[in-house]
């Protein structure tokens, strides 16, 4: 069968539109906020969508949303409440399935202002207000903030693009006593993650494009985490949006 040239062109254009279609529509986004030390819900906190200015409030259980958000677009959330360090989430591209699942939502693990500066002092970090500071949890397969411990040990963290003198601080974990399972900031000189999974970078230069945090461990595949570095901002990419193991071990 012979096709006229205009028919061939029409077929080609139709195929191109199918192959390169831009996602459309919206999906639901939700999550919750918890206190860093106690893991208790934080109610009546202000959650702002950086990209749109939309403002939400957490309920009595610390939950926010769900809200509708454009599929395929980045979303970054900011937590604010008196007494707590203002905390920014990672930046996530919203999938067609949304961000509402147990292993696919946006959570906040927020320190009080006092806890934040005590932790920084213990670590030995000098806070530069012209820089940003980021913490994340390298999470074992299908672990959440409800699991103790939740981290994947033995992973090495890299930051892209690399920053001169930006050395990751790996958090230890208390193995016994009343703080068993809690983050231990006193151990210095670690070169890989512990069961806590926590890692932090301080005093990163702000930039318009996101940084990427990657985890490397032999035989293990991780997701990656991205964040926007804004002047003076503390970012905590808590589970499940930090680098997470993608397949069960064994």
Residue 18 confidence (pLDDT): 42
Residue 3 confidence (pLDDT): 44
CA angle 40, 114, 178 (to 5 degrees): 50
Q: What is the pLDDT of residues 76-99, one digit of tens each?
A: 999 999 999 999 999 999 999 999
**Domain layout of the chain by residue ranges:** 1-250
Q: What is the pLDDT of residues 178-197, one digit of tens each?
A: 999 999 999 999 999 999 99
Residue where the block lists tokens 């006193």: 186
pLDDT over threshold 90, residue 248: no
Q: What is the pLDDT of residues 121-173, one digit of tens each?
A: 999 999 999 999 999 999 999 999 999 999 999 999 999 999 998 999 999 99
The sign of the torsion formed by the CA atoms of 97, 62, 200, 228 equals: positive
Out of 21-25, 98-102, 237-241, which region has the weakest mean confidence (pLDDT)? 21-25
Domain 1-250 architecture = Sandwich (2.60)
Identify the CA nearest to 209 among candidates 228, 223, 195: 228
Answer for the pair 211, 135: CB distance below 8 angstroms, yes or no: no
Burial environment of residue 63 by CB neighbours within 10 A (0 to 12, 13 to 18, 19 or more): middle
CA distance 34 to 36: 6
Answer for the pair 228, 76: CB distance below 8 angstroms, yes or no: yes
Answer for the pair 168, 197: CB distance below 8 angstroms, yes or no: no
Cα Rg for the chain, rounded, in angstroms? 21
Residue where the block lists tokens 């591209």: 93
Share of the chain above pLDDT 70, in %: 90
Q: Return the higher-pLDDT residue of 14 and 247.
A: 247
Answer for the pair 41, 61: CB distance below 8 angstroms, yes or no: yes
CA distance 242 to 90: 8
DSSP-derived letter for residue 154 is T
Residue 23 confidence (pLDDT): 58
Instruction: Kindly state the average pLDDT of the residues 67-80.
Output: 98
């Amino acid at each position: 069968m012979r096709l006229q040239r205009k028919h061939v062109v029409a077929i080609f254009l139709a195929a191109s539109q199918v192959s390169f279609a831009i996602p459309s529509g919206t999906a639901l986004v939700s999550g919750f906020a918890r206190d860093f030390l106690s893991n208790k819900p934080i109610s009546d906190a202000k959650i702002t969508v950086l990209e749109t200015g939309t403002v939400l409030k957490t309920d009595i259980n610390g939950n926010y949303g769900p809200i509708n958000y454009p599929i395929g677009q980045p979303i970054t959330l900011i937590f604010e409440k008196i007494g707590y360090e203002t905390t920014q989430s990672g930046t996530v591209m919203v999938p067609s399935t949304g961000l509402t699942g147990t292993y696919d939502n946006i959570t906040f693990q927020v320190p009080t202002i006092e806890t934040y500066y005590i932790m920084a002092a213990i670590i030995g970090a000098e806070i530069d207000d012209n820089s940003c500071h980021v913490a994340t949890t390298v999470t074992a397969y299908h672990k959440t903030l409800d699991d103790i411990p939740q981290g994947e040990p033995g992973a090495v963290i890299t930051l892209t693009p690399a920053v001169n003198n930006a050395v990751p601080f790996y958090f230890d974990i208390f193995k016994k006593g009343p703080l068993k399972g809690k983050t231990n900031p006193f151990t210095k000189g670690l070169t890989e993650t512990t069961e806590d999974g926590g890692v932090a970078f301080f005093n990163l230069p702000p930039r318009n494009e996101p940084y990427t945090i990657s985890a490397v461990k032999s035989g293990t595949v991780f997701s990656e985490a991205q964040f926007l570095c804004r002047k003076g901002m503390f970012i905590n990419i808590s589970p499940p949006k930090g680098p997470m193991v993608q397949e069960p071990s064994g």
